[in-house]
Amino acid sequence: MSAQLVLDLPRRFAYDEADFFVTARNDRAFGLVCQWPDWHAPAAVIWGPPQSGKTYLAHIWQARANAAFADPAALEGHVWTARQPLILEDVDASALPETALFHHLNLAREHGSFILLTARTPPGSWRIALPDLRSRIRSYPTAEIQPPDEEHLAALLLKHFSDRGIEIAPDVIAYLVQRIERSMAAADAVASLLDKAALAERRRITRAFAAKVLKTVGGASDEGDEGDDEPDDNF
């Protein structure tokens, strides 16, 4: 049987608060989001490694605060009346227009509005030349998101497969948890990889199929993991 053509269709990203998996790795960051609007400052910072859940929490806060996303690099040309709370993601990822950010933070304080900042590193390590901005940001409440543990990684895998409309057996999740990097990026990547491979070969994602696919991309597989799964026309 010839392989099925796989189209790179966009998938649905779900950012429902009810589906956010809270563990000791992210509970302080989730708590900070939930404490709004009772922050003691007009802004707060959530930081952690790439694909750790910062964007997910930003979307949860967006729904709670009716906030809008803005590009930090384009703040100089950004007209903001402070009527709607603002989300600035990955503020430490590129050159920051410091004067424009300081102006936005002042507007938030003057008008009783709020700004949520996300970053990969803690605010104390940001290279900020403007002294007033540096001290202002370091006074805001912050919360770190740590890389996921095994329990969290299993929940992330389940969510990524669910977002793709795939039901996955517990033994497949357990197998993957022991063989992929502990990060949200890895969970998303392996779910995408297995989804595309299963569509191409018209197979269900079993433990044996997952082992075979991981082996083809250089992942380790245990002897005996690979089986002779037959194509499933009802996939």
- Residue 17's nearest CA partner among 79, 64, 73, 76 is 64
What is the arithmetic mean of pLDDT over 116-122? 97
Q: Taken in order 26, 88, 133, 102, is the CA torsion positive or negative?
A: negative
Alpha carbons 161 and 6: distance in angstroms, whole number: 17
pLDDT score, position 61: 98
What is the arithmetic mean of pLDDT over 75-88? 94
pTM of this prediction?
0.76
- Residue 187's nearest CA partner among 222, 214, 158 is 158
Altogether, the residues listed in the chain come to a count of 235
The per-residue pLDDT for range 179-217, each reduced to its tens digit, is: 998 877 788 889 999 999 999 999 999 999 999 999 888
* Residues 6 or more apart in contact with residue 33 via CB below 8 angstroms: 46, 57, 60, 61, 64, 116
Q: At 226, list the tokens.
A: 């690979």
pLDDT-based confidence at 132, cuts 50/70/90? very high
* Distance set, CA 133 to CA 121, 138, 189, 213 (Å): 17, 9, 37, 49
pLDDT score, position 227: 52
* Distance set, CA 24 to CA 14, 20, 31, 151 (Å): 22, 13, 11, 11
Burial of 207 (0-12, 13-18, 19+ CB in 10 A): buried
